[in-house]
Structure formats: C-alpha cells, structure tokens
Structure 1
C-alpha cells in the first residue's frame, strides 16, 4: 500500500513587518522647534529618539566636578558645552554631558558642532548604553577622546584610538579602553601636559 502524501496545512498569512522610521537630525530639530520635547531631555541615537530621565544629585555633582576640572585646563580658544547638541552625522545627535570644542560660543550660531576634541558622559541609569552604543557612535564620528565617568562604580572609562570596523559595517570602534581608579590621573589628548586626579571628578 502506498502512502498518499497529505498536503501541508496552510499557516497564517505572512505579512512583511512594519519598518520603524529612522529620524534624521533635521527632522529631530524640526520636532523640537514645534515643541515636541518641551521640558524633556531628548536626544537622537542612530535615528531613534531617546529621552533621558531626571538628573539625580550624584549625576549632577559629577557633571559639575568634571566641568570645573576641564575648565581649569582649557582656556581661550576652547569651549566646553554642557548637554548641548553635537551633530555627529545625519542620524545622531547624542547630547553629550560635556563636549570640548574649538572656538567660542558665537562661532556656532549658524549650526551646532559636528566634532569635539573630548566628549564626557556622566551616566546614572545609562552606563551600558554609554559604554556600548554611544561609544560606537562617537568612534564612528572620529571623536579621539571619549570619557565615561561612572559615579556609582567610582571609576573613569577612557576610550581612545577609534578604528574602522570591517568593511561594510559602516561603523568604528575604539581600540583602547582604559578603566581608571580614583587614585589614577588622566590627561586629555588635547592637553597632554595637564592631568587631573580621577577622584577630583567623582562626588
């Protein structure tokens, strides 16, 4: 007796998945002009609009200490921007906690900076993202010096030497990642002769 092949039972219809819209910096800025983010700390990461939560006291203190330490090092010809836009590419405006850029405030009336000599993030609940997603974005943008001040862990992550990832990925990564203790000292690449004690950056 030969078996009769039973046709397979048809499954549910297969429909293509809807695609999420990838916002550009231009669209993001237009929404900001329309008041969409009023009272919020929003930023754009890889075309996705993100919102930061309220700033807790340790975060605010670490940010203020890092700001004071860097202002003591860098004088005329440098500008330290606090939680201001940094348009690293068409889909990323990561709103770093601190960004050290050249020139003065009026030089950016026509547009936000697209690069920085140093970027510092002081995470509270965003440590993982700052060490991975944002690190990749900053490396791809060619930011040579990227610091993540981990207030809760009481250390400083220093990322340097951005290198392209394999061809086709369209991204880069930092070759050097140092984790410094409170007793260590660090000098910005833009001022190698001036160092600061990591503990002076921590609350």
Structure 2
C-alpha cells in the first residue's frame, strides 16, 4: 500500500512529492528539544513513522529471540532491544533487536551507527511491508552486514546479507527445521535452529 493510499483514511490530497523529509540530525535535535515526545515514532526514509502496536505473539517471540541471541553473542558485543540505530542520513529506526559492538555504556552520548552493528532483527507481522521495504533498504544501503526478518505470517526466517545500495544482494529463507549461522565480522559465533525463533502456542 502506498503512502498516498495509506493517508486516504484522513481524507488528504497530499502526494509523496508534497512531503518534506528530515535528516537524522534534525530528528535528534527535535528529540533533544522535547518536541518529539511520542515513543511510538521512529525515523524511516526521512519520515516520522508510527510503530506498529505489538500484539502478544510479537512481544513473546521477541523475548524468546532475545534469550537465544544473548546466549551466543560473543564478548565484545551486546544485545540491544527496541533501541535506535543511527543510519545517516535519513533513518533512525528502532529495530526489535540488534547486536552491537562494545558495551551499553559506550553509547551514553550517541546511538550506534552502521560500523557498530553486526545484525539487526525485525519481528514482522503487521509491519512486514515496511520491514521488507524502507527498513530493508535503509539497513542495506547503510552497510549493516546482516538483517533477519522473523516472519510470523509465513513462519520462516528471512536472512539478508551482502548489503548493497538498494538493500541486500543475498536472501536465504529458513524454514523452522533449518539452522541459521550467526556471523559476526565474518566469524561464526553460533548456530540457531530457526524453529527456536518461531515459538508456537502450547496446546491445552
């Protein structure tokens, strides 16, 4: 669905060309001044985008993923959950999970940038259009080495690598029965059963 179509509910005649994009610097300045007080907003492609309301399945799945990823994150890296990543020049998304260089205290004065990030993960259901679209392009053109979409709709993991200017040059889709290799700076740090990232409700 296009932006124009999505805005039709508000009976607007605005086109994409009518909108003004802001930079990451401008976005962070607005936040510093307290103008942006809404925690449900993130900057994607220079536009203020509402984050999707998280349903129970999304929240529970993210907590499971965090536990699994933390267990195989090596020393010198840490896991951030739903925290900003600064992607010059027009993006500051808040991925569901990111593996970031160093320790949390290293980022008291700035958000991590592309050189600090080994992997971003988005848990996708209602958000899958944006996760496969503008967010994928933002992560790829910024040089984030790997991007995983935990696709709750089709129950599979989409693993993107080889970043290019328009996104990623490689996509490998993992069904629940396959294993995913976690690579950090080209080194394997662990293997994950894709099914472990796709929990199902327990039957009564």
Fold shared, TM-score > 0.5 on shorter chain: yes
Residues in 2 aligned to 1:37 and 1:139: alpha-carbon distance in whole angstroms? 27
Deviation of 1:178 (Å): 1.1
Asked if the contact 1:101–1:117 (Cα under 8 Å) also holds between the matched residues in 2, the reply is yes
Match of 2:179 among 175, 178, 185: 185
Matches within 5 A, 1:1-203: 19-115=18-114, 116-163=117-164, 171-190=165-184, 191-203=187-199
Q: Write the deviation string for residues 117-174 of structure 1: whole angstroms up to 9, x where unpaired.
A: 00000123111221122111111001111100012221000001113xxxxxxx3331
- Any unmatched runs of 5+ in structure 1? 1-16, 164-170
**Alignment: residue pair count:** 180
Higher strand share: 2
Give the distance between the partners of 2:55 and 2:68, measured in 1 at CA. Answer: 20
User: How high is the TM-score relative to the length of structure 2?
Assistant: 0.82
Where structure 2 has 5 or more consecutive residues not aligned to the other structure, the ranges are: 1-15, 200-204
Bigger Rg, which one? 1
Check the 8 A contact 1:40/1:51 in 2, yes or no: no
Provide the TM-score with structure 1 as the length reference: 0.82
CA contact (8 A) 2:74 2:189 kept: no
Partner of 2:4: none
**Shift in Å at residue 87 of structure 1?**
0.5
Task: For residue 101 of structure 1, give the secondary structure of its aligned residue in structure 2.
Answer: strand
- Cα deviation digits, residues 36-83 of structure 1 (max 9, x gap): 443532111111100113211111111111111110001431111111
Cα distance change, pair 90–193 in 1 and its aligned pair in 2 (3 A): closer
Distance in 1 (alpha carbons) for counterparts of 2:180 and 2:169: 18
Query: Is this contact kept in 2: 1:130–1:148, CA < 8 A?
Result: yes
